[in-house]
Amino acid sequence: MSEKILIIDTATENCSAALVLGDRVIDLCEEAPREHSQKILPFVEQLLAEGGVTLAELDAIGFGRGPGSFTGIRIGTAMMQGLALGAELPVLPISNLAAMAQGAIDAGASTVVAAIDARMGEVYVGRYESRDGLATLVEQELVIAPDELLALELMQGDELVAVGTGFETYPELLDDGRLTVSGDHRLPSAKMMVPLALELYRNGGALPLEQVEPVYLRDNVAWKKMPGK
């Protein structure tokens, strides 16, 4: 297949966009806190110009649906809505935690714990396994205090790779030595989302705009505690 998909992400400190044109991927990414609203539209315009396509010629638009910064998610969601509505495009919502996990899996990891600093003494976290080379969520994503996270089963196992700013902010999560940090995937990006967006699109996962909602994760704790914790 020769999909044409635009992906945008502003949910964390990274501001990024990627354009998939069949086997070709072009992208722009800049760590630019508080500048997302000024940068994301020029990123999109530059990629479309470089790719030689118009918005109306695309098959779908993907976006980082969260979790992440509340303001960042709002900016990305509003941009996605404007682009999708104007060009009548279906939408591919992509988890920002899954994007970081996918980056690590593409680099050879098999099981990944992704954590984003959620402020207020908490982290957004999810555990992912590589299935056919794709980051696949185990149970569900959640927001939790670091000391509570240490007691959960998702932190247990061998050869776990840790990605994300949550581990920078709370280095005690790494104290038991089970997790190996991948510093190359500390923030998600639109380029990391490409495999997930393609899989979603090819399996009929593109949604009408009115069915798409951002994900904030507050008050969502579902993982089991370890015995005795």
- Kindly report, residue by residue over 86-119, the tens digit of the pLDDT: 999 999 999 999 999 999 999 999 999 999 999 9
User: What is the rounded end-to-end Cα distance, in angstroms, of the chain?
Assistant: 49
Report pLDDT digits (tens) over 124-172. 999 999 999 999 999 999 999 999 998 888 888 888 999 999 999 999 9
Find, among 15, 31, 18, the residue nearest to 76 by Cα.
15
Q: With a cut of 60, say whether residue 40 has pLDDT above it.
A: yes
Torsions phi, psi for 194 (to 5 deg): -55, -50
Find out whether 16 and 28 touch, Cβ atoms under 8 Å.
yes
pLDDT band with cut points at 50, 70 and 90 for residue 228: low
Instruction: Sort 197 into a burial class: Cβ within 10 Å, 0-12 / 13-18 / 19+.
Output: buried
Q: Per-residue pLDDT for 220 more than 80?
A: no
Delineate the domains of the chain, giving CATH numbers in brackets.
4-95+189-211 (3.30.420.40), 96-185 (3.30.420.40)
Looking at residue 226, its pLDDT comes to 53
Which pLDDT value is given to residue 48?
A: 98
**How far apart, in whole angstroms, are the C-alpha atoms of residue 28 and residue 25?**
10
Average pLDDT, the chain: 93
Instruction: Tell me the percentage of the chain whose pLDDT exceeds 70.
Output: 95
Dihedral class, residue 133 (left if φ above 0, else alpha if ψ from -120 to 50, else beta): left
Decide: 45 and 101 in contact? Cβ < 8 Å.
no
How buried is 173 (Cβ within 10 angstroms: 0-12 exposed, 13-18 middle, 19+ buried)? buried
pLDDT for 221: 46
pLDDT at 177: 80
Dump pLDDT digits (tens) for 161-211: 999 999 999 999 998 788 999 878 999 999 999 999 999 999 999 999 999
Instruction: Determine if the pTM surpasses 0.85.
Output: yes
Determine the pLDDT at residue 225.
57
With a CB cutoff of 8 Å and minimum separation 6, the contacts of 2 are 21, 22
Task: Let me know: does 113 contact 125? Beta carbons within 8 Å.
Answer: yes
Token pair belonging to 101: 């996990």
Report helix, strand or coil for 47: helix
